[in-house]
Amino acid sequence: MIFGSVNVNYKGLGYAPVLERVLDWLKDTDLKSLEIGRHDIDGDNIFALVQEVTTKKFEETRPEAHKQYLDVQFVIEGKEKMGFLPDRQTEPVVEAHDDKDLYFYEQGLADEGYIIAQAGSYAIFFPEDIHRPCCAVNDEPSKVLKVVVKVAMKLVD
């Protein structure tokens, strides 16, 4: 997992070129003008999902992971708490959607850490990162405008 801001220089940090490309796209695109939904950057290799969500209380969210894509979660407006922990291969998948590259885990995972993402923040979650998006800051639900950029792992390896 990588957490940062597009308002801070991320060049030269050793990110894969495709990640720098995605961060450049996030920084240079007028994201507020994009319609809610999918926007192709490079077909099925890199695409953005613009979402307007209402954050939920922690216990109403579910930890998830992906195998084929990494997530670059970017907050455009609002604040969102996100949980994360490494996938130690000991946490059982309780619901799998192979067709959507989406795998849910049980509640109450040990050692889950948290970040507070706000406008300009990005969190990069790799397949080895279990993450829990859309959590309310201080358990007070609020609206968040965000984009999740999906990057095919074959471009990162």
pLDDT in tens, the chain (157 residues): 999 999 999 998 999 999 999 999 999 999 999 999 999 999 999 999 999 999 999 999 999 999 999 999 999 999 999 999 999 999 889 999 999 999 999 988 889 999 999 999 999 999 999 999 999 999 999 999 999 999 999 999 6
- For residue 90, the one-letter residue type is T
User: What pLDDT was estimated at residue 12?
Assistant: 87
Inter-residue contact 56 to 138 (CB < 8 Å)? no
Q: How far is residue 134's CA from residue 57's CA, in Å, rounded to a whole number?
A: 9
Sorted by where each starts, the structural domains of the chain and their CATH numbers stand as 2-155 (2.60.120.370)
User: What pLDDT was estimated at residue 108?
Assistant: 86
